[in-house]
Amino acid sequence: MPEKIQLLPGVTLTCVPTGKFKTSCLSLNLIAQLSADTAAWNALLPRVLRRGTTRYENMDQLSAALDELYGAAITPVVRKIGECQCFGFYSEFADDDFLPAGERVLEKVADLLGELLLSPATRGGLLNREYVESEKKNLIDDIRAQLNDKTTYCVNRLTSLMCQSERYGIDKYGTEKAVESISPIKLTKYYHELLETVRIEIVYCGAARPERVRGAMERALAPLPRGAVSTFPVADVRIFPQEETVREFHEELDVNQGKLTMGFRMGPCMYTPNYAGMLVFNAVFGGDVTSKLFLNVRERLSLCYYASSAVNRTKGILLVYSGVEPAKFQQAYDEILAQLEAIRAGEISQWELTSAKRGTVNAILLSLDSLGGLEARYFESAVTDMLLTPEELCGLVDAVTAEDVSAIAKSVVLDAVHYLRGKDGGELAT
Amino acid sequence: MASLRLKSYENVGEQLYTEQLPNGLTVQVLVKKGYSKAYAFFATHYGGADRRFRLAGQWIDTPEGVAHFLEHKMFDMPEGNALTMFSENGASPNAFTSSDITAYHFQCTDRFYDNLKILLQFVSVPYFTQESMDKEQGIIGQEIRMIQDRPGSELYYNLMKCLYRDNPIRYSVAGTVESIAQITPQVLYDCHKVFYTPSNMTLCVAGDVDPERIVSMCLELLPGQPGEVPVRDYGPDDGKAPCLPRLEKAMQVSQKQFAIGCKGDPLKRGREFLADSVLLDLAADALFGTSTGFYTGLYEKGLLGSDYGAGFETVAGVGHLLISGQSDDPDAVLDAVRAGLDQAAVNGIDTRTFQRVKKAAYGHILKRLNTFEMTCYGLADGYFNGFEELERASVLDKITPDQVNACYRTVFRPENFAMSVIQPITKGDG
């Protein structure tokens, strides 16, 4: 059973014991409220810190140290959970069992994580200017690179347009302009303030006993200054769209395949959210290959190469994303809504319901059999204070009825639609 | 069932059962305790590069994209779609086609043997109708358009077109909209007959499963007789020099992307294949990997970002060094690659660097063994090329600095490099 340990005020360690893997992971995450003012700062900070510490001043020395730890990896990460921006480091390293006798990597990785966070390479008390400037450029490159994967790009575009007056519409990397305005002086000041007040969530998945992890992390974080830890809600849920008519956004890029992306509010069902019900609803609608979108929009009508849905339970949003020829945009749009209408009307066969539940339970259990999946699940639970264990969640999924699914479909309201088509009119050359 | 063979690979903590059945199929089962997930991977040694082959004494040429098209169509069964049957059982099925392997796989946490039965049946029984072929041409046409929008894929195939004059790995596995229009049911039946014969296939399973039961299911459900062993033709040896030094293409991307390549010698079969590929990969990693001075130097200069990789890829009987990433100045990166190699050819690698890179490579092998997908892929690739995947760590252990230095002097020669570049579309283009 996972164990939660409070290390310091506002610093929690979640230990997930498992002997299944040959490597372990340890993530150190700072949790801030998503905000247009600080998103870029938070996204930049782990990258700058990852460039060097007082002991290992540059990337060469850090890389060599990690190689010596049998190829341990420490990567800067930024995640968005609801309206929280979670940023820090994810590390993965070999389990002692597979190393020459007496080698202990966990403690050394924990020390390194602590150094990266608390003892950065500085010049005259400021974060190294060269590192700050070069990581600003890299972050801007990454912000621009979101354009390269068109599916993710469209999902992000729709999210930011649909939620333009909400925190949720802020990109986890911030904006190019905000990144450009950061100076080493301002970043250093911000960094020191942050350390005192920020909530920190640490997750360990691996074979070591919780006591050992606790000891290692307590030592690594001993110099962490602690003031009043800031608290805030995970997300501000908007039940209904802001405008009465569906907002439409059109965009043209040099692409071969069109994309249709639709955003819904989960609606009044968010007053008493039924997480298991939402998972099953999503699997029936478009989350799985037994879903209505897959079987009808893609397979039966061949309208799309893919058409899938995803529910964000924390923010109460449903997204449908599909790859469609622009000439068929209207037909695909109508059919996607017709499938939602069918669920509202209770047209859910026993086969659909059973397949959706099995698929959902399978996906939950599968996530526990991969190290990254395990970390992601327990990290999200820690941030959102979810008390359900995966096993309990599976039990609740089993109990979901067709009426539950239909009720959720009835609650859902279409808010905004994004169309991406190729230049030159939209009819594609074949 | 006396012929199931058990071999332990104690250094990496794995136990593998193998058996070759009378019909020629090799079954490989990795028993993994403690997992709720089980994974089956049914693969044929057939991919996009296998376009010319001999059947019943006659050479047959097939259009680009047949292996991938066949993969899509195999899911059709007289009694319905196999994807749907898996999903009804709560399994997550999928398939992929590379240049030399087509694999069908599923993972599940329940009803493993029911799912295995579906897998064995749908892959071994071809069923194609003109009507379903016509529909599939539309679906794959969409997939091809989507692939053409992926910069990574264009980058890779352009590099292959630079490196190889005749080898069919220079063409996209999915084919083109025109080439797939030429595919008929008969072409699919022929290719299935030649390449889906059990002696050209392997079944790899990982999980807490019973190897004997798996073997008896194969005996019961698959054809009893071995088929004709396929003879394939990849064209004449291309030699070491690239056929083109450079290819460029403009796409809707944020920053220039590059892939730099250099051919190795054609690969031998068996343990030598493994020894050579592990050696060449280590040589690539020691000189150009993310922990080298080469990478950190260019990173600090702002010429490389975090989206970067270097390694040695083996595919369809050939292998090449592959270095790829994003950069504002790919030519400067190529110059640095050549300079780094010149220097390494003269000075060789220092012992400390060699030792730490080797430690890191060991950690990376452990990490790969965490995922059933990577491990089963390795087992299949190993079987098709005549080596034991689980010996990778022992093979690595025996590599000496002299061997690595020899790679710099004789295998990777600066004059044999080629580069593919994707340029961002600038205003006024297109």
Enumerate the domain spans of chain A.
3-221, 247-422
User: Between B92, B107, B363, which is nearest A71 by CB?
Assistant: B363
**How far lies B169's CA from each of A395, B48, B149, B234, in Å?**
48, 7, 20, 9
Q: What is the pLDDT of residue A327?
A: 92
Shared-domain flag, residues B213 and B260: no
Q: Locate B181 and state its tokens.
A: 């229009």
* Contacts with A359 from chain B: Cβ below 8 Å: 87, 90, 92
Of A144, A76, A45, give the one whose Cα is nearest residue B306: A76
CA B172 to chain centre: 13
Q: Do B88 and A72 touch (CB under 8 A)?
A: no
Number of domains in chain B: 2
Mean pLDDT of A329-341: 96
Is the pLDDT at A428 greater than 50? The verdict is: no
For domain A3-221, give the CATH superfamily: Metalloenzyme, LuxS/M16 peptidase-like (3.30.830.10)
Q: Return the bridge partners of B120, or none.
A: none
Best of B252, B351, B369 to disrupt the A interface (most A CBs within 10 Å) is B252
* Contacts with A63 from chain B: Cβ below 8 Å: 290-292, 296
Mean pLDDT of B273-282: 96
In a domain, B30, yes or no: yes
Percent of chain A predicted with pLDDT > 70: 98
Q: Locate B16 and state its tokens.
A: 């593998």
Is the pLDDT at B80 greater than 70? The verdict is: yes
- pLDDT for B191-249, tens place per residue? 999 999 999 999 999 999 999 999 999 999 999 988 888 889 998 888 899 999 999 99
Q: Hey, which bits of A71-115 come out as E strands?
A: 73-81, 84-94
- Give exposure, A47-63, as e/b (b: 16+ Cβ within 10 Å): bbbbbbbeebebbbebb
Distance of alpha carbon B264 from alpha carbon A173, whole angstroms: 40
Is the pLDDT at B25 greater than 80? The verdict is: yes
For residue B228, is it left (φ>0), alpha (ψ between -120 and 50) or beta?
Answer: beta
Q: Do A358 and B87 touch (CB under 8 A)?
A: yes
Strand, coil or helix: A80? strand
Of B228, B260, B279, give the one whose Cα is nearest residue B396: B279
In a domain, B351, yes or no: yes
Measure B298 CA to nearest chain A CA, in Å. Answer: 11
Local confidence band at A299 (pLDDT 50, 70, 90 cut-offs) = confident
User: Between A69, A130, A138, which is nearest B305 by CB?
Assistant: A138
Shared-domain flag, residues B148 and B61: yes
Say how many residues make up chain A.
Answer: 430
User: Between B86, B145, B326, which is nearest A428 by CB?
Assistant: B145
Best of B37, B105, B137, B374 to disrupt the A interface (most A CBs within 10 Å) is B37
* Contacts with B155 from chain A: Cβ below 8 Å: none
Helix (H) or strand (E) holding A152: helix A150-162
Distance of alpha carbon B326 from alpha carbon A51, whole angstroms: 19
DSSP type of residue A284? I
Is the pLDDT at A426 greater than 70? The verdict is: no
- pLDDT for A50-96, tens place per residue? 999 999 999 999 999 999 999 999 999 999 999 999 999 999 999 98
| Residue that is written with structure tokens 């710099």 in the block | B408
Q: Do A304 and B142 touch (CB under 8 A)?
A: yes
Q: Return the bridge partners of A258, or none.
A: A324
Q: Do B142 and A289 touch (CB under 8 A)?
A: no
Shared-domain flag, residues B201 and B328: no
| Residue that is written with structure tokens 């539950």 in the block | A404
Cβ(A65)–Cβ(A50) below 8 Å? no
User: Between A70, A325, A355, which is nearest B359 by CB?
Assistant: A70
Q: Do A71 and B89 touch (CB under 8 A)?
A: no
Q: Is the domain defined by A247-422 classed in CATH 3.30.830.10?
A: yes
DSSP type of residue A53? B
- pLDDT for B107-145, tens place per residue? 999 999 999 999 999 999 999 988 888 888 888 888 888
In a domain, B130, yes or no: yes
Q: What is the pLDDT of residue B427?
A: 62
**Phi first, then psi: what are they for A317, rounded to 5°?**
-130, 140
Shared-domain flag, residues B284 and B172: no
- Give exposure, A105-142, as e/b (b: 16+ Cβ within 10 Å): bbbbbbebbbbbbbebbeeeebbbebbbebbbebbbbb
Q: Do B109 and A98 touch (CB under 8 A)?
A: no
Q: Do B36 and A365 touch (CB under 8 A)?
A: yes
Of B372, B391, B364, give the one whose Cα is nearest residue B31: B372
Q: Locate B275 and state its tokens.
A: 């020894």
Measure B355 CA to nearest chain A CA, in Å. Answer: 8
Q: Do A362 and B296 touch (CB under 8 A)?
A: no
Shared-domain flag, residues B182 and B58: yes
Shared-domain flag, residues B69 and B189: yes
Same fold for the pair A3-221 and A247-422: yes
Say how many residues make up chain B.
Answer: 430
Is the pLDDT at A298 greater than 90? The verdict is: no
Q: Which domain holds residue B374?
A: 246-424
* Contacts with B12 from chain A: Cβ below 8 Å: 22, 98
Q: Please report how the helices A129-145 and A184-197 are oriented relative to each other, as an axis angle in degrees rounded to 10.
A: 80
Shared-domain flag, residues B270 and B382: yes
Shared-domain flag, residues B351 and B412: yes
Helix (H) or strand (E) holding A195: helix A184-197
Q: Do B252 and A255 touch (CB under 8 A)?
A: yes
In a domain, B414, yes or no: yes
Q: Do B11 and A98 touch (CB under 8 A)?
A: yes
In a domain, B240, yes or no: no
Q: In what order do the strands lie in the sheet with B246-251?
A: B246-251, B417-424, B257-263, B318-326, B308-315
Measure B151 CA to nearest chain A CA, in Å. Answer: 7
CA triple A229-A234-A238, angle to 5 deg: 140
**Phi first, then psi: what are they for B185, rounded to 5°?**
-55, -40
CA B277 to chain centre: 13
Active site residues of B: 71
* Contacts with B90 from chain A: Cβ below 8 Å: 355, 358-359, 361-362
Local confidence band at A430 (pLDDT 50, 70, 90 cut-offs) = very low
Distance of alpha carbon B424 from alpha carbon A141, whole angstroms: 13
Pick the last residue of a domain from B176, B206, B232: B232
Q: What is the pLDDT of residue A392?
A: 95
Report the mean per-residue pLDDT for chain A: 94
Q: Hey, which bits of A96-198 come out as E strands?
A: 122-123, 126-127
Q: Return the bridge partners of B41, or none.
A: B105, B204
- Residues 6+ away with beta carbon under 8 Å from B264: B276, B280, B312, B318, B319, B320, B321, B411, B412
| Residue that is written with structure tokens 């044999």 in the block | B416
Q: What is the CATH number of the domain that holds B311?
A: 3.30.830.10
The interface pTM score, or ipTM, of the predicted complex is 0.84
Cβ(B199)–Cβ(B227) below 8 Å? yes
Best of A141, A252, A328, A421 to disrupt the B interface (most B CBs within 10 Å) is A141
Distance of alpha carbon A65 from alpha carbon A58, whole angstroms: 11
Shared-domain flag, residues B314 and B394: yes
Q: What is the pLDDT of residue A429?
A: 36
Q: How many CA atoms lie less than 13 Å away from B356 in the CB half-sphere?
A: 20
CA dihedral sign of residues B138, B144, B147, B149 = negative
Q: Do A355 and B88 touch (CB under 8 A)?
A: yes
Q: Return the bridge partners of B263, or none.
A: B320
Strand, coil or helix: A348? coil
Q: What is the pLDDT of residue A424?
A: 67
In a domain, B241, yes or no: no
Pick the last residue of a domain from B169, B201, B232: B232
Distance of alpha carbon A33 from alpha carbon A39, whole angstroms: 9
Report the mean per-residue pLDDT for chain B: 93
Rg (CA), chain A: 23
Q: What is the pLDDT of residue A427?
A: 43
Instruction: Give the residue on A whose Cα is nearest the Cα of B34.
Output: A20
* Contacts with B254 from chain A: Cβ below 8 Å: 141, 144-148
- pLDDT for A238-273, tens place per residue? 999 989 999 999 999 988 889 999 999 999 999 999
- pLDDT for A269-284, tens place per residue? 999 999 999 999 999 9
User: Between A68, A256, A295, which is nearest B356 by CB?
Assistant: A68
User: Between B90, B141, B251, which is nearest A362 by CB?
Assistant: B90
**Phi first, then psi: what are they for A70, rounded to 5°?**
55, 50
- pLDDT for A192-209, tens place per residue? 999 999 999 999 999 999
Distance of alpha carbon A364 from alpha carbon A358, whole angstroms: 10
User: Between A141, A305, A365, which is nearest B142 by CB?
Assistant: A305
* Contacts with A354 from chain B: Cβ below 8 Å: 88
Shared-domain flag, residues B186 and B250: no
- Please state the three-class secondary structure of chain B as a single string: CCCCEEEEEHHHCEEEEEEECCCCCEEEEEECCCCCCEEEEEEECCCCCCCEEEECCEEEECCCCHHHHHHHHHCEECCEEHHHHHHHCCCEEEEEECCCCEEEEEEECCCHHHHHHHHHHHHHCCCCCHHHHHHHHHHHHHHHHHHHCCHHHHHHHHHHHHHCCCCHHHCCCCCCHHHHHCCCHHHHHHHHHHHCCHHHEEEEEEECCCHHHHHHHHHHHCCCCCCCCCEECCCCCCCCCCCCCEEEEEECCCCCEEEEEEECCCCCCCHHHHHHHHHHHHHHHHHHCCCCHHHHHHHHCCCCCCCEEEEEEEECCEEEEEEEEECCCHHHHHHHHHHHHHHHHHHCCCHHHHHHHHHHHHHHHHHHCCCHHHHHHHHHHHHHHCCCHHHHHHHHHCCCHHHHHHHHHHHCCHHHEEEEEEEECCCCCC
Q: Locate A20 and state its tokens.
A: 């299944």
Better pLDDT: B237 or A339 = A339
Better pLDDT: B328 or A301 = B328
**How far lies B167's CA from each of B51, B162, B237, B317, B318, in Å?**
10, 11, 8, 10, 9
Distance of alpha carbon B75 from alpha carbon B77, whole angstroms: 6
Measure B52 CA to nearest chain A CA, in Å. Answer: 27
Mean pLDDT of B51-56: 89
Q: Do A362 and B91 touch (CB under 8 A)?
A: yes
Distance of alpha carbon A188 from alpha carbon A240, whole angstroms: 41
Task: State the pairing for strand pair A73-81/A258-265.
Answer: unpaired
Shared-domain flag, residues B227 and B341: no
- Residues 6+ away with beta carbon under 8 Å from A358: B87, B88, B89, B90, B110
Distance of alpha carbon B89 from alpha carbon B106, whole angstroms: 11
